[in-house]
Structure 1
């Protein structure tokens, strides 16, 4: 997936492709990092790459719960904890869970079918007065925006960790040859 969402002829496939592309570039920010590096907070914020992936995964899963009419999993009182990759959570499990959430999103949205299908919102104050006025289209657009916003955060954190940026990481992950304008990322030499 070379940096762009695949083109499609219908709106649902297009929205799902853009969400998948944003998930992919967020996961790329973790490419080549060790467990400890995923927890690093090298900027002025409290964010880490592992914590961002954990948060975005939980957010997407929670919204798909809403689409299915289930109670939301996210507990607002644990919002800050949702940005922290705990010591007992591994990178492999984190990425595997995020992959599973993406598959679930695709299945649920395809089963619903129509992007203008109404979705009953939770009884939260920010949805008052419009609980039935949201659509699957709105939810997917919201998830794309949420994922893109946090991918930008993760890009900055990754560059602060080892200087890696999006296209060289993508080139390394996808095994591109060196180009005139860009060399695939390689792990920095470790001091001995």
Structure 2
């Protein structure tokens, strides 16, 4: 996927495209990392690249269930666990989970087709507004873009702390961009 979202013709197409782009740049932070590096927490926080990708997959699954009006009680123990790769869990497992959530989100948005579709506010979590009864599907998609972008930024910092890699050199390496005077694709340390 290129470094920029392509042309868009509708609001729905734009929201889905920007969400897809944020998922991509988040997943890109894992490019070339070992299992140990995916689990490393080299900054002041306990955040890891693998855990951030897993958390975003779980978050999208939760919002999808809310959009589809499928009851999914909040499990705060699982919420905390979703910030870490479990023993034996691989990044490929997490990517597959995230890809399924993404496909399901896009299918749901296209099936409903109405960005003003009413989505109930989950009152079981402390971070949701208490003065609203519903969000719209538009709001949910914007929130997912915001949430994913926030955590992509966290993952960028964690990744840079792990091995010095930054976003555009990683993208250049993943997509096979040619080296230029001002951009050298990331290469694993030798």
TM-score range, shorter chain: over 0.9
Aligned partner of 1:9 in structure 2 is: 9
Q: CA deviation at 1:128?
A: 3.2
Aligned partner of 1:69 in structure 2 is: 69
Aligned partner of 1:137 in structure 2 is: 138
Aligned partner of 1:100 in structure 2 is: 100
Per-residue Cα deviation, 1:42-65 (whole angstroms, up to 9, x for no partner):
111000000000101000010000
Aligned partner of 2:111 in structure 1 is: 111
CA contact (8 A) 1:66 1:120 kept: yes
For 2:36 and 2:74, how far apart are their aligned partners in 1? Answer: 25
Aligned partner of 1:166 in structure 2 is: 167
Aligned-residue Cα RMSD (Å) equals: 1.3
**1:83 alignment partner, SS class:** coil
Alignment of 1:116-127 (within 5 A): 116-124=116-124, 126-127=128-129
Q: Extract unaligned runs of 5+ from structure 1.
A: none
Return the TM-score normalized by structure 1: 0.93
For 1:54 and 1:16, how far apart are their aligned partners in 2? Answer: 20
Return the TM-score normalized by structure 2: 0.94
For 1:84 and 1:100, how far apart are their aligned partners in 2? Answer: 19
